[in-house]
Amino acid sequence: KKTSIWDFTVDFAYSMLGDFTSSKDKFFKLKYLQYEWVRLSLEQLRREMWFTSGNIFWMLNDCWPASSGWASIDYYNRPKDAYYAFKRCSKNVVLALDNENDKYLLYASNMHNAIDNAEVTISIIKGSEVKVIEKKKVSLPAEQTVVLKEMDFVLEKGEVLVAEISGDGVNDRTFYRLGKLEMTETPVNYVIDKDNNTITVTSESYIHAVEFEGDALFEDNCFSVMPGETKTVKYETLSDTEIEVVAYTF
């Protein structure tokens, strides 16, 4: 009989993210499950400001090695995937998508000064196909959450709704997908520049999560890549170790 938190975590990862194809695949999905827990909870808190104006998050660092667990920083003092979800959702401006009464709502939460000239792009993506729903300039009031768009359509199987904001010093991306997030490992193009401590990732189709593994501190991790997008991430090595790059998508 399964009764431990570990058993429930493994079952949740399996049912939400798909079959484990190997121990390596299981390890990634346990880490990504924690990433999603943090992302969803913090996006909801940002949507509901100032109804909710604070949150105590348990906890910062592991006291023993763990593949998932509560903490955002592992036993070896390296950020887990969940750390990067927390980092992203703590920015001044964060987007969030939600399904309410069969309609999709795009929220923007601004914790700082007013934004006057940012651009929002809303797209539906399936593989390498990108259908832009809307692209527009927006202004965001200071220290408020606002609804930028209300959408009434049906996502087809395999489609991902993606919203992005950029300009005027802000940059963020969020997504919504119906049902489970069943992901499988996929090839990814990347170049590691050891002289400049950068990793550049490119893809012709949508990649939902690119993860870097190694004894290093990464500027960003567990991020998505849009079709045709190139993303360069800086890193700082903590020891003489090789960096592994893996990618997962739907």
- Element containing residue 122 per DSSP (H, E): strand 115-126
Mean pLDDT of all residues in the chain? Answer: 94
Dump pLDDT digits (tens) for 11-58.
999 999 999 999 999 999 999 999 999 999 999 999 998 887 878 888
Burial of 78 (0-12, 13-18, 19+ CB in 10 A): middle
pLDDT of 4 reads: 84
* Segments of 128-250 assigned E as strands: 129-140, 144-151, 160-167, 170-176, 184-185, 189-193, 198-202, 207-213, 216-218, 223-225, 230-237, 244-249
Residue 250 is classified by DSSP as -
Global pTM value: 0.94
Confidence of residue 246 (pLDDT cuts 50, 70, 90): very high
pLDDT of 1 reads: 67
Confidence of residue 163 (pLDDT cuts 50, 70, 90): very high
Q: Is the pLDDT of residue 198 over 90?
A: yes
Which of 28, 10, 7, 23 shows the shortest CA–CA distance to 184?
Answer: 28
